[in-house]
């Protein structure tokens, strides 16, 4: 096997696979508190007093839970504040925590109720407890006796209580068994949301793009099916109407340059399926766009055409969801900039050849 063949079919796919795995796991851990933190939701395995979970001035909200792991370092409570105003702010709210068998409090922190967001988790943090697993912990949230006309209560939306465990890195990486056990627990108790799935797919697309590019057409069902569009476009019944003529030209364009679909698809996934903006995703898509421009030697018409489509989409979705419009506008700006650079470069080339 020649060295060039090894690079083309082994080294480059391996590098792209490596980056797909690393970037996907990096994002996964980022949205799930990092590698070292384990989170467990408590749905029914906690006790509250009063049963309603409501707290007004002068009262104490009491509760208990069983720690799932060692190194307990944070308790998150989903609280309903019923729109607290600045006039209702009270600084003297105390969170206290202890082992149920201990007489003294392990932790006591002071908060203001204006720090709490309605129906959102609020983190009550403390120094990690190394031997917390399977122990029952008791907590109190105490309201001062200041005048307050509102109410704070534990939300009915499950889960209402989440506990987090912050493992030291030297414990996690002490052995292969320890690392694999921790990673298994991390994956089992983390949130795999639609956003995480979308980001993972987007990071996979460069590998797919490269495989489709290096695979012979007839061995690649994806490319072969798109290539058939060229045959379809030549059918007389398709080319009779104006719409048919436009579709025919589009089919011919795509049929010759099949891989354009992948970065364009990536733009639409990023725009409409991701609720946040991820820097590495942007870089990945930009590199794919530059790659297809390079292999097909596309001129500024391609960039301007996609930018025009996205500009129309921006206007349409502006009244639907602002984030969609912002993302679409960003891609429009980038493609217009890229098309302008391509146009300037082509003019420069023509002038240089003229000399």
CATH of the domain at 69: 2.60.120
pLDDT in tens, 74-98: 999 888 776 555 555 666 788 899 9
Instruction: Tell me whether residue 207 is in a domain.
Output: yes
Residue spans of alpha helices (H) in the chain: 3-6, 12-31, 169-172, 176-188, 194-214, 221-233, 236-239, 242-256, 261-273, 279-296, 300-317, 322-354
Instruction: Tell me whether residue 160 is in a domain.
Output: yes
Please state the domain count of the chain: 2
Last residue of one domain, picked from the residues 188, 208, 227: 188
In 3D space, the residue among 128, 124, 151 whose CA is nearest the CA of residue 140 turns out to be 124
Distance CA 91, CA 109 (A): 11
Last residue of one domain, picked from the residues 142, 173, 188: 188
Residue 169 and residue 52 share a domain:
yes
| pLDDT confidence of residue 218 | 46
Q: Angle 261-273/322-354 helices, nearest 10 degrees? A: 150
CA 155 to each of CA 55, 76, 240, 259, 336: distance values in angstroms, whole numbers, following the listed order: 12, 12, 62, 49, 48
* pTM (two decimals): 0.75
Distance CA 348, CA 94 (A): 70
pLDDT in tens, 31-77: 888 999 999 988 765 666 555 455 555 567 888 899 999 999 999 98
Instruction: Tell me whether residue 146 is in a domain.
Output: yes
Residue 202 and residue 65 share a domain:
no
Instruction: Tell me whether residue 306 is in a domain.
Output: no
Residue 135 and residue 70 share a domain:
yes
Count other C-beta atoms under 10 Å from residue 16's C-beta.
19
> What's the domain range around 98?
37-188
pLDDT in tens, 88-139: 566 678 889 999 999 899 988 888 777 787 788 889 999 999 999 999 999 8
Instruction: Tell me whether residue 354 is in a domain.
Output: no
């Amino acid at each position: 096997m020649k060295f060039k063949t090894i690079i083309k079919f082994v080294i480059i796919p391996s590098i792209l696979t490596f980056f797909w795995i690393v970037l996907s796991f990096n994002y996964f851990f980022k949205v799930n508190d990092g590698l070292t933190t384990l989170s467990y939701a408590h749905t029914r395995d906690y006790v509250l007093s009063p049963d309603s979970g409501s707290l007004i001035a002068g009262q104490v909200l009491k509760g208990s839970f069983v720690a799932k792991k060692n190194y307990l370092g944070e308790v998150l409570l989903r609280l309903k504040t019923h729109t607290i105003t600045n006039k209702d702010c009270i600084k003297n709210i105390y969170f206290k925590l202890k082992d149920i068998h201990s007489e003294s409090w392990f932790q006591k922190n002071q908060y203001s109720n204006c720090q709490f967001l309605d129906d959102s988790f609020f983190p009550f943090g403390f120094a990690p407890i190394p031997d917390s697993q399977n122990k029952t912990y008791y907590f109190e949230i105490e309201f001062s006796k200041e005048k307050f006309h509102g109410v704070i209560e534990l939300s009915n939306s499950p889960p209402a209580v989440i506990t987090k465990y912050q493992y030291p890195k030297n414990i996690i990486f002490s052995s292969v068994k320890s690392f694999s056990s921790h990673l298994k627990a991390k994956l089992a108790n983390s949130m795999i949301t639609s956003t995480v799935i979308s980001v993972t797919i987007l990071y996979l697309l460069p590998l797919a793009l490269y495989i489709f590019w290096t695979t012979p057409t007839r061995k690649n069902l994806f490319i072969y099916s798109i290539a058939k569009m060229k045959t379809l476009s030549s059918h007389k019944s398709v080319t009779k109407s104006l719409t048919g003529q436009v579709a025919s030209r589009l089919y011919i364009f795509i049929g010759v340059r099949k891989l354009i679909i992948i970065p364009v698809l990536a733009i639409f996934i990023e725009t409409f399926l991701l609720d946040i903006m991820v820097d590495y995703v942007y870089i990945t898509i930009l590199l794919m766009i530059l790659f297809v421009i390079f292999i097909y030697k596309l001129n500024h018409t391609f960039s301007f055409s996609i930018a025009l489509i996205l500009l129309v989409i921006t206007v349409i979705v502006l009244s639907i969801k602002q984030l969609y419009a912002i993302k679409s506008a960003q891609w429009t700006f980038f493609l217009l900039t890229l098309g302008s650079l391509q146009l300037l470069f082509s003019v420069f080339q023509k002038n240089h050849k003229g000399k």
